[in-house]
Amino acid sequence: MAFLYSQSSSCSFLVSCLALLFWVLVQQPHIASSALIMSLKNHHNNQHHRRQPMFQTNQTTCALFAGTWVQDDTYPLYQYSECPVIDAEFNCQMYGRPDTDYLKHRWRPLNCELPRFNGLEFLLKMRGKTVMFVGDSLGRNQWESLICMVSAAAPGAQTQMSRGDPLSTFKFLDYGLSLSYFRAPYLVDIDVLQGKRILKLEEISGNGNAWRAADVLSFNTGHWWSHKGSLQGWDYMESGGKYYQDMDRVAALEKGLRTWANWVDANIDRTRTRVFFLAISPTHYNKCDVFTSVHCLLASNKEVSIDSQNEWTAGATTATTKNCYGETSPTVGGGTMIGGGTYPTGAYPAEMRVVDSVIRDMQSPAYLLDITMLSELRKDGHPSIYSGDLTPEQRANPARSADCSHWCLPGLPDTWNQLFYTALFF
């Protein structure tokens, strides 16, 4: 399968490049290198991403993570009823979501088309291998999506599912392929000492031992670092042999990510293992929560419910601030146009600057799946009040009950996996 390339003249290519440069400079003048630019840099410069030529001519003509959403009635790639692994909080159609237009959009990058996901090709090329997603429940969202996408191509294949905490695995027995999810919302270790949960910012060996044998690793983290109060997943942080009741959360994230990056550089043989990092997934709880930070919610003392497995099973906004409830189509206005796509205005999140910096400093950089901005346009893709079996009272109060953090399946994570598939094989 090959890319379908736009037949553009050198003039139009120059205009596209200038438009991309203009957006980066205007939207993020204080950013030395945006996630978009870093993703392109990692894709072009990392030798592990050159197993097949990505572009037939000039590699700078296609920007995978800049573009637009277009309607496509051939989507979705599978039906929820044919994929029993989908957890209740992602299974929007099963739990009564009435609209379907949100399922019928595909991502069109700037100046190229993504190859359509081919589940049989994935099975054949990944025969005998292990793919592991490591991180929080957004990683689980992507893991379940990939299982569904591959299963749709081989409905008669023998499979086996084992669920556990922290490790769950789905196996395609006929192909020797394992798709695993390892729950580690901070990536670094958490130990219990005298009944207290210690987030160890400089230790990762406890978790890391489970990742060494994978052939493909996809990491993510982000949402949990902002949680406070009852949402907080630890009692103390440990750094440099000292214990802290709290510290600047972005600084803590950077410490943890650098521990992860150093571990990957020291322990993963990059000649046999591909390493990816999923950029921070945006939420759509209220106007000040443009990306993933919950600082606005915490500052306004709004209630956000949480359970031990899913950090965002419900969220809160005020009655006068619209969340994702009732959204049925991608965002098409209110931002800056580039290559036919509309991007929201607003500050570039500090968390993504940290991700950029850490990945850039790795000896062998992970491939950054830079899904933040393209996902920001999909306010319609969240479960909202169709996240599991909510009570009638909860559904009647979407301002307090809507899940605007996770994503419906089928839905947006299928596009993340289409980009993942493209990076793996093209």
Which string of DSSP letters, residue by residue, matches 387-418?
Answer: SSS--HHHHT-HHHH-B-SS--SSSHHHHHHH
Q: Which two tokens stand for residue 9?
A: 């003249």
Handedness of CA 42, 199, 372, 296 (dihedral sign): negative
**Residue 167 tokens, joined:** 């490790």
Q: State the burial class of residue 414 (Cβ atoms within 10 Å of its Cβ: 0-12, 13-18, 19+).
A: buried
Tokens of 278: 């999923």
Are 158 and 174 in contact, with CB atoms under 8 Å apart?
yes
pLDDT of amino acid 192: 95
Q: Name every residue whose Cβ is closer than 8 Å to that of residue 170 and which is 6 or more positions away in sequence.
A: 85, 147, 159, 160, 161, 178, 179, 180
Give the β-pairing of 112-113 and 167-172.
unpaired
Peptide bond into 76 cis (omega under 30): yes
Catalytic-residue membership of 293 = no
Per-residue pLDDT of the chain (426 residues; tens, 9 = 90+): 444 434 444 444 444 445 544 444 444 433 323 334 334 444 434 444 333 334 332 346 899 999 999 999 999 999 999 999 999 999 999 999 999 999 999 999 999 999 999 999 999 999 999 999 999 999 999 999 999 999 999 999 999 999 999 999 999 999 999 999 999 999 999 999 999 999 999 999 999 999 999 999 999 999 899 888 888 999 999 999 999 999 999 999 999 999 999 999 999 999 999 999 999 999 998 754 433 333 343 333 333 333 333 333 333 333 334 699 999 999 874 443 333 334 444 445 789 999 999 999 999 999 999 999 999 999 999 999 999 999 999 999 999 999 999 999 999 999 999 999 999 999
Residues paired with 67 in a beta bridge:
109
86 three-class SS: coil
Q: Which of 16, 34, 39, 137 is catalytic?
A: 137
Instruction: Exactly one of 281, 403, 405, 414 is catalytic; name it.
Output: 403
Q: How many distinct helices (H) and strands (E) make up the chain?
A: 12, 17
Whether the pTM exceeds 0.85: the reply is no
The answer to whether residue 403 is catalytic is yes
Report the b/e string of 290-326 with b at 16+ CB within 10 A.
Answer: bbbbbebbeeeebebbbeeebbbbbbbbeeeebbbbe
Question: Mind giving me the DSSP string for 177-226?
Answer: EEEEEEE-TTSS-EEEETTEEEEETT--HHHHTTTTT-SEEEE---GGGG
Beta bridge partners of 111: none
pLDDT at 331: 87
Active-site residue among 16, 405, 406, 414?
406
User: Which pLDDT does position 421 carry in this prediction?
Assistant: 98
Tokens of 101: 């237009």
| Annotated domain spans of the chain | 63-187+206-224+250-290+349-425
**DSSP one-letter code for 85:** T
Residue whose tokens read 């023998």: 158
Q: Count of CB atoms within 10 A of residue 347's CB? A: 11
